[in-house]
Structure 1
């Protein structure tokens, strides 16, 4: 079990950018903030997928060069090798939770009995 509070961690660029709340061993979770006019470099991951859940503001994602506008309540999933670029063209701060799940090299499924259905 692990419990942390967002206020215990720093953003990469002072008051914006990503900040990790936990790293590994199976998943990374954090938050990212971009202020109006800011962007985050286009990149992709070779083995993990990254999921963003938008909390505040609006943002333009470019997934494999296609524009994907996102607003609070939206979820964006980037699979391995999906390039993703974020730019805040709005007048409000953007904030999202991100989850990065690394590649697991073995089958981690566990088969259990079917539930009893009445």
Structure 2
């Protein structure tokens, strides 16, 4: 929802999409932010995550809400738990995986916006 030149997204709000067993819910899209960023909540299934990849256009920031997620940032491995913040600048080889036995949840901020249209194309809702 857009409010007085801003965005309000409450619990349960946002379109949800599925990618390889994970679910992303958009809290702010590049369309709503004039292309500046996209913010989405991602629920990762146990033992799943994307393969190593590089973004040539977007920086990504990750904030862990639930679970344990193992990140690969270039040649470094980091285990991120609730409250952990990570930033992956464009051009950095990275991937992540839920290493727990229960779903994990995180927020992903991509800047500039547009990454959401590339990643998530099959609607759940």
- TM-score with structure 2 setting the length: 0.72
1:4 and 1:89 map into 2 onto residues whose CA distance is: 29
Could you list the per-position Cα deviations for residues 33-52 of structure 1 after superposition, in whole angstroms to 9, with x for gaps in the alignment?
Answer: 11112122222211221000
Higher relative contact order, chain-length normalized (CA < 8 Å, sep 6+): 2
1:12 aligns with 2:18: yes
RMSD, aligned α-carbons? 2.1
Of 42-51 and 3-12, more deviation after overlay is shown by: 3-12
1:77 and 1:95 map into 2 onto residues whose CA distance is: 16
Structure 2 unaligned spans of 5+? 1-5, 114-125
Aligned length: 103
Q: In 1, are the aligned partners of 2:29 and 2:37 still within 8 Å (CA)?
A: yes
Q: In 1, are the aligned partners of 2:16 and 2:23 still within 8 Å (CA)?
A: no
Q: How does 1:1-118 map to 2 (within 5 A)?
A: 1-5=6-10, 7=12, 8-13=14-19, 16-24=22-30, 25-102=35-112
Runs of 4+ aligned residues of structure 1 deviating over 6 Å after TM superposition are none
Larger Rg: 1
